[in-house]
Chain A
């Protein structure tokens, strides 16, 4: 393929070209999708350096396993799966070494003042938390990263990557109704975390 042909080629065509031995085809795929893979890794593993490494590793895996891509789904769907799997493994690897605590709603919250039963926010408005939300992107990123992967992944796919519910369902292999309920639940989980975090920050001030 010429340079122009590579640029105009679909993902599937690039895959075929790569499998036929065209190295530039794979490079084109990387360039085309590197930002979304990096972004997904960044939002799931949080640390930029680790995200970069993870994203590189995703493409190494893609390179090795591209023959497994049958074209039954969109390349991006397959790519997201590879990336999500890899990021899960990265996080699991870290978790094994860090024994990251998985917060349970029933678990006590450790604070400087001791341990307390978590005060679950009710469904009443927390205008303060909402108001502060957009001003605290760092907190948002941190709390997103701390979400259980089951919530984090779907929020990243939806609100960061902008995938449709159908695309999310294909990527995560979920039924449409599950996608809908899980997205809502994920936002609720993040809202709880943000509310708690922002209240804590207010108290400190």
Chain B
């Protein structure tokens, strides 16, 4: 292609042509094919004979009319050369200028794109901008973006006069993702029918998302500069898109946190702040919510002077929906327990299920509930268990028993009939309802705390008051989990059946000491003070103090073998009926058969071996257990 003939060209042609006219030519004309580009003089059409030369490189023809002498042919050729070269050079210059203008256009467009995207964090808008700008700059029919994230639906966003079938866009993206170093695909290949050509570039978002931009049906072909430009646009939009995603996630996170805060407040607000106490029952209940509130609830309600209702449940799911359903469930249980005439707890669960089944079904949730009724005068415990676990019965005289749930959770079937089980209570019997947050707690290695550990712990903590039984479990689960965060709420209700007036706790405390002789004085003297304050006779005080001293000295010598870094926790609890002392250490497990230990005979003049024998003589019940790396000694002294 030659540039437009300008006046400059005409002037030059005229001066060269005038030479020919001087030597007798009538006219000089320059042709491109059949068309006259320039003529001199301008408008004369000559038919006479002429010298005519055609350039092989430019395809131009120069005719000099009125001259036929072939000797002049080289001169015609040189004039054609001069002119051809000039026109070619001018054409190149024109092209260069055009390219410069286009590059400038593109830079301006990119700048405008940057400005536009800075103002938006909205993903569809950004994708629109990306495609519109690319379309505008590269002169294509349309464009699309494909976003693929593992486990999520593929997103296809497109702008085009004639939109592509999403499957075609995805097919093009798949083609590209298989060959990411190739960018241009032509119709002859595996492209869908309505695609003439496609150019694909990567949209750099984040590692877990593979994203690509496709531009299709360009008039002519895509070129390397097109790829570069598309990459530049995609790079910019990709960064902005990532910002948009982060922003969206931050907003979502804040929303979740706010929701969790509210859920936690709801849960905290509805759980009882004080636990009612009735004669003959030592009750303790507590709930430690997880960060993502799990929907646990509990309640303890006085029904009369000698009967008590307790409930523990866990609504499925987390956050706000769980908190709302939990508060509704809790309210119904509370009001039914207080106001509804019923003999057995299953009647309350029937009512609850009837009232709430539709609501639960609508949101695809349900709740487990254990509802118990302690009847002190009849010495009975009636309970109804809709899927709550674990529930333990710890009889005073035998090992703890895990009670399986009899019925399905509330909110699953409207037609279900709940049932009640009854236990005869003996003094010292314990009933524990807990949430699955205990057995399902995990340590950093992923191991679950499990039911067996709970049972073993109860078999040593059973002599303690209700509060300490619960706290011992919470402490042990915490220690087990270590650095692993609490995944679910931990809620526990402990009911201990005791002789009326004898359940009064006179003291109940614990302290931790280092395993060295000089540290033993503190717990011994503390015990003395507690017992004296409780009105225990001096002789009993001395004996208890001695038993504790002997036990602790034994741990210093044998559990820790004199290593003062060892720690011993001492728990002391006293009621009018008995004094319980429990120690916990993490030293060497005792290898001792208590039954075989006797006081050395005086004539032996033994220089040791008195310690455990003294304890056995003074204390009514001595128990030793090694449990999950901890050694637990329990001493119980009954007061007459």
Q: Does A pair with B?
A: no
Point out residues on A near B: beta carbons under 8 Å: none
Point out residues on B near A: beta carbons under 8 Å: none
